Chain A
Amino acid sequence: MSKIKINIVSSSEEIYSGEATMVFATGTLGELGIAPGHTPLLTGLAPGPVRVQNGSDEEAFFCSGGFLEVQPDLITVLSDTAERAESLDESEAIKAKEVAEKELANKDATIDYAKASAQLAEAVARLKTIQKLRKKQ
C-alpha cells in the first residue's frame, strides 16, 4: 500500500511526524480525505480533529485551526496554538498600540540620532572599562 509523509507542527512544538495511508481533516470548506498521490492543495483548517490512518492504526490530533498543505508525497499541517478570530486579533493589536501610547505619551516622533548614539557609546564604554579592569587583574 502506498504511503504519504505527514508532519503536524504547531508554533511551540512538533506534534506528529510519520507516514500515513490516509489522512482526514476538517477544512474550512468541509471534510477532507487525503490519500497518497493527492493533487497539490492548500487550505485553511477549521477547529477539529486531524485523523492519521496508517494501515489499521489510527491516531487523532485536535487542531484549533491553521493550514494544510498537500503535495503528492507530503502533507504538512500548520496548527495554530490558539483559536484565532479577526476580532480577537484586532483587540490584541489595539492593546499593543495602547501600551505604546501610554509608555511614550507626549514624546517626540523624530528620533534624536546624536543623543541615541551618545547614550549607546556611553553604555558601551562602561562595559569596556569593566572588561579592561578585568584583564588587568
Chain B
Amino acid sequence: MANTKEVRKQIASIKSTQKITSAMEMVAASKMKKTQDSMLEGRPYSLKIKDVISHVALANSEYRHPFYEERSPKKACFIVVSSDKGLCGGLNINLFKHVIAKSAELNEQNIASCFALIGTKAAGFFKSVGGEVVGVAEKLGDKPNPDDLIGLTKVVLDMHKISDIDQAYLCSNSFVNTMTQQPTVEQLIPLKPEEKDESAPSQWDYIYEPEAKELLDGLLTRYIESLVYQAVVENNACEQAAKMIAMKNATDNAGDLIKELELLYNNVRQAAITQELSEIVGGAAAV
C-alpha cells in the first residue's frame, strides 16, 4: 500500500505542472488574438494582388510567364510551413502526414521531391527522416516579417527558373476556427490560370513600363511570396489555437488526476487510522 507521504508528493508535483499548463493556456489565448489579427491584416494585400494577377491573365498579353507553363514534371518542391515550438497537439504531425502522403504519391509517378522548410519542427522532422532539403527558415517569431521569407522563396523560384523543379507545393495549416485547423497541400507552380470570362472583351492589353517580361516576373514573384507569407501567418494563428486547446486539455487532465490521487490519499489515510485504532484496541484487550 502506498503511504500518505508519497501520494502527497505526487499531488504536489502534478499541481505545479497544472499551474504551468494553465499559464501556457492563457499565454496562448492572448497570443492567438494577436496572431489572428496579423492574419487578417495581411489579407487585403493577398486579395488585391490576386485581383491584379487575374486582370493580367485576362489581358491580351504577348508574353506568357513560365509559372503558368505545364512542364512534364520530374521533380517537385514542397514548401512546408510548421511551427517553431511544440506542445500544440497534432498540428505539425498531421501536416507532415499529408506532405509525406503527397510526396509518396508523386514518387510513384516517378516525380522526385525536395523540401523547403519553414519552422524548427519541420527542420527537425526532415532531419530525422531524410529527404533533400533545399532551404530552411526558422525562428521567425510570433510576428513574422515578410522579408524573412524572401530568401527561401527565392531558392524555390530560382530552382524553377533553371528547371531543377517543375512543380511547387505549399503545405500549411489553414485556420478554420479555434477548434479546427485543416492541413492543406496546395499547388503553387504551375499557377492555375484564372478562368477567362468569355463575355469580357479581351482585346486590350496593358501599357507595360518597363517591359512586360520584367514586370510580370516581379509581380508573380511577389504574388508567390505573398502566398507563402500569408500561409506562415495563418499557420501561426493555427499554432496558438492548437496550443491553447492542448494546454486546456492538459490542465483538465491534471485536475482529474489530482482528484483521483486525493481520493487515494484519503483512502490511505483512513486505512492507516483504522489500522492504528485496531492495534490500540487489540493492545488494550491483551492487557
A interface residues (Cβ-Cβ under 8 A, vs B): 7, 9-14, 17, 27-29, 39-44, 66-67, 69, 71, 76, 78, 80-82, 84, 89-97, 99-100, 103-104, 107-113, 115-117, 119-120, 123-124, 127, 130, 133-134, 137
What separation, in Å, do the CA atoms of A108 and B114 have in the docked complex? 12
Which B residue's beta carbon lies closest to that of A108?
B130
Chain B positions within 8 Å of A123 at CB level: 90, 93
Question: Known interface pairs A40-B59, A44-B218, A89-B150. Does A12 touch B97 (Cβ–Cβ under 8 Å)?
Answer: no
Q: What is the 8 Å Cβ interface bit string for chain B, positions 157-192, against chain A (1 contact, 0 not)?
A: 010000000000000000000000000000000000
Question: Known interface pairs A43-B215, A76-B52. Does A89 touch B90 (Cβ–Cβ under 8 Å)?
Answer: no
Question: Known interface pairs A96-B135, A99-B136, A111-B129. Does A42 touch B147 (Cβ–Cβ under 8 Å)?
Answer: no
What separation, in Å, do the CA atoms of A125 and B90 have in the docked complex? 10
Q: Is the CB–CB distance between A82 and B147 below 8 Å?
A: yes
Q: Does B219 contact A (CB under 8 A)?
A: yes
User: How extensive is the interface on chain B, given as a class?
Assistant: 35 or more
Which of B51, B96, B113, B207 lies in contact with A76, CB distance below 8 A?
A: B51
Q: Does B196 contact A (CB under 8 A)?
A: no
What separation, in Å, do the CA atoms of A94 and B151 have in the docked complex? 7
Q: How far is the CB of B249 from chain A (nearest CB, A)?
A: 7
Q: How far is the CB of B185 from chain A (nearest CB, A)?
A: 15
A-B contact count, CB below 8 Å?
187
Question: Known interface pairs A81-B146, A120-B100. Does A41 touch B48 (Cβ–Cβ under 8 Å)?
Answer: no
Q: Does B127 contact A (CB under 8 A)?
A: yes
Q: Is the CB–CB distance between B208 and A42 below 8 Å?
A: yes
Residues B50-97 near A (CB distance < 8 A): 51-52, 55-56, 59, 89-90, 93-94, 96-97
Which of A12, A41, A96 lies in contact with B155, CB distance below 8 A?
A: A96
Chain A positions within 8 Å of B138 at CB level: 99
B interface residues (Cβ-Cβ under 8 A, vs A): 38, 41-42, 44-46, 48-49, 51-52, 55-56, 59, 89-90, 93-94, 96-97, 100, 103-104, 107, 113, 116-117, 123, 125-138, 145-147, 150-152, 154-155, 158, 204-210, 214-215, 218-219, 222, 225-226, 229, 249, 252-253, 256
Which B residue's beta carbon lies closest to that of A121?
B97
Chain A positions within 8 Å of B219 at CB level: 42, 67, 78
Q: How far is the CB of B259 from chain A (nearest CB, A)?
A: 9
Chain A positions within 8 Å of B256 at CB level: 137
Q: Is the CB–CB distance between B222 and A113 below 8 Å?
A: no
Question: Known interface pairs A12-B42, A76-B48, A111-B113. Does A93 touch B136 (Cβ–Cβ under 8 Å)?
Answer: no
Q: How far is the CB of B81 from chain A (nearest CB, A)?
A: 14
Q: Is the CB–CB distance between A11 and B226 below 8 Å?
A: yes
Q: Is the CB–CB distance between A103 and B123 below 8 Å?
A: yes
Q: Is the CB–CB distance between B215 and A44 below 8 Å?
A: yes
What separation, in Å, do the CA atoms of A53 and B204 have in the docked complex? 28
Question: Known interface pairs A67-B52, A69-B55. Does A97 touch B135 (Cβ–Cβ under 8 Å)?
Answer: yes
Question: Known interface pairs A41-B207, A44-B209, A120-B97. Does A103 touch B133 (Cβ–Cβ under 8 Å)?
Answer: yes
Q: Is the CB–CB distance between A92 and B100 below 8 Å?
A: no
Question: Known interface pairs A28-B210, A81-B146. Does A116 touch B151 (Cβ–Cβ under 8 Å)?
Answer: no
Chain B positions within 8 Å of A7 at CB level: 44, 48
